[in-house]
Structure 1
Amino acid sequence: MNGGSPGRRELVTEWLPDFVVRSPAFEQLCPRVVSALAAYESFPEVKDWGRFSPEPSGDLAELELHELRTAQVRFTPQDDARIRAAGGYDYYIKETGLVPSRPGSWHDLFNALMWRHYPALKRGVHRLQLEDFAARVDPRRRTALGDAVTLLDEGGVIVLSSDPELLELIRQFSWLELFYERRAAFQRRVRVLVVGHALLHALLRPFIGLVGQAWLVSAPDDALSDWRCARSFADAYAAAHLAAEVRRPKDLHPLPLLGIPGYQDNDSADYYRNLPAYFRGKGPRG
């Protein structure tokens, strides 16, 4: 995959019906949703966003997720005055069941797509954001919980793997070994789910320096068999474990996304060695 240029950070604003070709990160999206989006010649109206839901496969877990999607939030054009009257964005969602969304915004459309593809995760994030607001001493300053949840919501990645050694390589910043020396194992035993909507927006025009904040999750091999299985497992895992496992920023781990096999033309050792500032080693963390 080509397209990452050093330091390039201009965000895409125009409608791209074929946006899925911009990054492997979009392969996680349900093909039915991708086809529906591709049919639009211009940016879909906010009132249509609720339609972009994966269809259930027929198994119990997928049917439960489908029920959660259809019972959950809807999307409405953003009204700043109403948000202020409710006490803020998340309180507005809590009161109304509506997610304020800006027309023509990739950032907000990707947020809607994540609500539809990972309803339990997004509902859990919403609850933790409300918990953060309630715990603040200064209303303008997030708690450690608020920082962590915001990182996941905006720039988060869920990394599923059936190989604990590969997850440990992420913790140790061992990028050359992870992405190049153990590339075959990575491709076979890892699924990377980009769930942060700001990160998805940035991946429409990738740049060297793009880093996700990874929640590392051990998963069985059958959860890695395809994207639907990976999404279903990740969302069920989030429903059970998000509130306990993502409490502080250091519960998440930096992941240089353009090192992931397929995210760039990165199948040589020199690719990683020639970008030391991007694929840097582990330093002290707060």
Structure 2
Amino acid sequence: MRYVAPTREAVDPVVFTHAPLSEWGQFGEWLQGKRWPSIDELNARWPSHAPERFAAQTRELLEDGFHYEERIATRGLIATREANWHDLFNAMIWLRYPQLKRALNRQQMAQIMQVGRRERSRPQCAQTHFDEAGVIVTVKDPALLALWDRHDWYSLFWRRRAAWVDGLMAVELFGHALLEHALTPGKLLVGKALAVTVDERVARADALEGCAEAIAEGRWLRDPQELRPLPLSGIPGWHAAGEEEAFHRHAACYQPLREGRRYPAPLDLRSLG
């Protein structure tokens, strides 16, 4: 069933006090203010040298003959529906993670050149899944990756709960649809994740840059099967029920590993340190 976001007036303010929305306070007025931000207000957040700008998605704009991704690549215009949660969150992602967005656009354009505008390749499917519901997960302890590999959610989120607090595993939420779904209190969120192994010497910014390079160069997101499910609601602070052990034994978002399913090796960025 297609998700329908609540109206601006109907959003429960409590959702902005819990992850993931609590981590976007820099855009607090856009999220919790009484009115929607204008396109001009969105554009005012860009650095002066940025090549992109948000553009109201009007009939006139769409009649330019460009595919959505082509318009970004050739005109620097990101078609944006006004007064729309989904597109507002997309704008916020662009402003926080421009290098990742540009990497995706580069690969989307490469695929359009290969298969045309009407077809969708497996790389495009992977890129779209990540754009909508993607998370990047940095892992410092190989034992945690092994738990994830076999979908041992109870151990990953309860027995090793401290790992999420201490930073042995950390999440960068990239998919704007996840932020939209978080507007519904108590909704169980599952991300489509790319795993990255790092050590203490690798800074967050360097890890993100490494991921963007891997995507831009076509080394990542070539197939949807590269993406691992990650039940985000199991992370401490992401779901109220997650403070209780029982949640981690029976949560509906904790799906078993499908027979024969194997995940690719993570991107190894430990050498950056």
Q: TM-score range by the shorter chain?
A: 0.7 to 0.9
Q: Write the distance in 2 (CA, Å) between the matches of 1:47 and 1:19.
A: 28
Per-residue deviation, 1:77? 0.5
Q: TM-score, with normalisation over the residues of structure 1? A: 0.79
> 5+ unaligned residues in a row in structure 2: which ranges?
263-273
Q: Write the distance in 1 (CA, Å) between the matches of 2:232 and 2:60.
A: 37
Amino acid at match of 1:271: F
Corresponding position: 1:155 with 2:133? yes
Amino acid at match of 2:213: A
Aligned residue for 1:46?
Answer: 39
Corresponding position: 1:250 with 2:228? no
Amino acid at match of 1:278: C
* Aligned CA-pair RMSD: 2.7
Aligned 8 A contact 2:81 2:87 in 1: yes
Q: Please state whether the residue corresponding to 1:221 is helix, strand or coil.
A: coil
For each residue in 1:252-280, what CA deviation from the matched residue of structure 2 results, as whole angstroms up to 9, or x when unmatched?
101112111111121333112223x4212
Corresponding position: 1:135 with 2:114? yes
> 5+ unaligned residues in a row in structure 1: which ranges?
1-6, 54-65, 224-228
Q: Please state whether the residue corresponding to 1:240 is helix, strand or coil.
A: helix
Q: Write the distance in 2 (CA, Å) between the matches of 1:221 and 1:250.
A: 29
Aligned 8 A contact 1:124 1:238 in 2: no
Aligned residue for 1:184?
Answer: 162
The share of aligned pairs that are identical, in percent, is 31
Aligned 8 A contact 1:158 1:217 in 2: yes
Aligned residue for 1:57?
Answer: none
CA gap 1:140/1:171 in 2 versus in 1, 3 angstroms: farther
The equivalent position to 1:271 in structure 2, one of 244, 247, 254, is 247
Q: Write the distance in 1 (CA, Å) between the matches of 2:63 and 2:198.
A: 41
Aligned 8 A contact 2:137 2:194 in 1: yes
Aligned residue for 1:239?
Answer: 212
* Structure with the larger RCO, 1 or 2 (CA within 8 Å, 6+ apart): 1
Amino acid at match of 2:7: T
Aligned 8 A contact 2:103 2:213 in 1: no
Amino acid at match of 2:145: L
Q: Write the distance in 2 (CA, Å) between the matches of 1:193 and 1:207.
A: 20
Amino acid at match of 1:97: G
Q: Write the distance in 1 (CA, Å) between the matches of 2:107 and 2:206.
A: 20
Q: Write the distance in 2 (CA, Å) between the matches of 1:208 and 1:36.
A: 23
Q: Write the distance in 1 (CA, Å) between the matches of 2:186 and 2:31.
A: 24
Q: Write the distance in 1 (CA, Å) between the matches of 2:17 and 2:223.
A: 32
